[in-house]
Chain A
Amino acid sequence: MPGQRTHFEIYGDDPKALADFYATLFGWELEKVEGLEYWRILADPGDRSRVAGGLTYRPRSDPRGWLQFLDVESLDESIAMAERMGATVVRPKTAIPRTAWVAVLADPAGNMFAIWQTDPTAFPMPEPD
Chain B
Amino acid sequence: MYYTDDSILPENMAPLIITAAPYGPAWLPGDAADIPLTWDEQVQAAVDCYEAGATVLHFHVRNPATGMGSTNFDDYNYLLRRVKEAVPDMIIQVGGSISFAPHTAEAKAAWLDYDTRHMLAELDPKPEFVTVTTGTSLWDIASAFTAEDVKGTHMEDPKVQAAWQGMVVDSTPAFYVEHIKRLTKNGIQPYFVPGHIHQWDLIDHLIRAGIYKGPLNLALCGYGGGTLWRNPFDWMHFLQRLPQGAVTTFWSSMRGLISLSAMSLVLGQHIRVGNEDNLWGADGTRKTTVEQIKGVVRLSKEFGRKVATAEEARKIMKVGTWYDTVEETLQKNGMAPNPTRFNPGFLIWPTDGKLKPAVVGGDSHPIAACMIAPEPVRAAQAALLAGKA
Check A127 against B163 for contact (C-beta < 8 Å). Answer: yes
Knowing A35-B75, A36-B64 are in contact, say whether A129-B69 is a contact too (CB < 8 A).
yes
Cβ–Cβ contact B26 & A126, under 8 A:
yes
Identify which of A33, A34, A97 contacts B67 (C-beta below 8 A).
A97
Which residue in chain A gives the minimum CB-CB distance to B168?
Answer: A128
Contact of A124 among B67, B160, B166 (CB under 8 A): B67
The answer to whether A36 touches B65, judged by C-beta atoms less than 8 angstroms apart, is yes
Check if B29 sits within 8 Å of A126, measured CB to CB: no
Q: How far is the CA of A126 from the CA of B25 in the complex (A)?
A: 7
Contact with B along A25-52 (1 / 0, CB 8 A): 0000000011110100000000000000
Taking the nearest CB of chain A, how far is it from the CB of B101, in angstroms?
A: 13
Closest Cβ–Cβ distance, residue B28 to chain A (whole Å): 5
A126–B60 Cα distance when bound, in Å, is 13
**Given contacts A34-B39, A95-B67, A98-B37, A126 and B28 within 8 Å (CB-CB):** yes
Which chain B positions have C-beta within 8 A of A121? 30
Other than the known A35-B78, A123-B29, what 12 A-B pairs have Cβ atoms closer than 8 Å? Answer: A35-B79, A36-B63, A36-B64, A95-B67, A96-B67, A97-B29, A97-B65, A98-B29, A121-B30, A123-B28, A126-B68, A129-B69
CA distance A33 to B40 in the complex (A): 12
Q: How many residues of A contact B (CB 8 A)?
A: 18
B97 at the interface (CB under 8 A from A): yes
Interface centre among A34, A121, A123, A125 (most CB of B within 10 A): A123
Tell me how far the C-beta of B360 lies from the nearest C-beta in chain A, rounded to whole angstroms.
64
- Provide the bound-state CA to CA distance between A95 and B68, in Å: 10
Whether B65 pairs with A38 at a CB distance below 8 angstroms is yes
Q: Tell me how far the C-beta of B137 lies from the nearest C-beta in chain A, rounded to whole angstroms.
A: 14
Q: 1/0 per residue A1-25: CB within 8 Å of B?
A: 0000000000000000000000000
Q: How far is the CB of A67 from chain B (nearest CB, A)?
A: 16
Bound form: Cα–Cα A94–B219 in Å: 36
Interface bits A94-129 vs B (CB < 8 Å: 1, else 0): 111110000000000000000000000101111111
Q: How far is the CB of B287 from chain A (nearest CB, A)?
A: 20
Would B28 and A125 count as touching, CB distance under 8 A? Answer: yes
Q: With A and B bound together, what is the CA distance between A97 and B67 in angstroms?
A: 5
Asked if A128 and B79 make an inter-chain contact with CB atoms under 8 angstroms apart, the answer reads no
Name A124's closest neighbour in chain B (CB-CB).
B67
CB of B27 within 8 Å of the partner chain: yes
Chain B residues 314-371 with CB under 8 Å of chain A are none
Q: B66 at interface (Cβ–Cβ under 8 A)?
A: yes
B64 touches A35 (CB 8 A): yes
The chain A residue with its CB closest to the CB of B95 is A129
CB distance from A12 to the nearest CB of B (A): 15
Distance (Å) between the CB of A47 and the closest chain B CB? 22
| 24 contacting pairs across A/B (C-beta < 8 A) | A34-B39, A35-B79, A35-B82, A94-B66, A95-B67, A96-B67, A97-B65, A97-B66, A121-B30, A123-B30, A124-B67, A124-B68, A125-B28, A125-B154, A125-B160, A126-B25, A126-B28, A126-B69, A127-B69, A128-B26, A128-B164, A129-B95, A129-B97, A129-B98
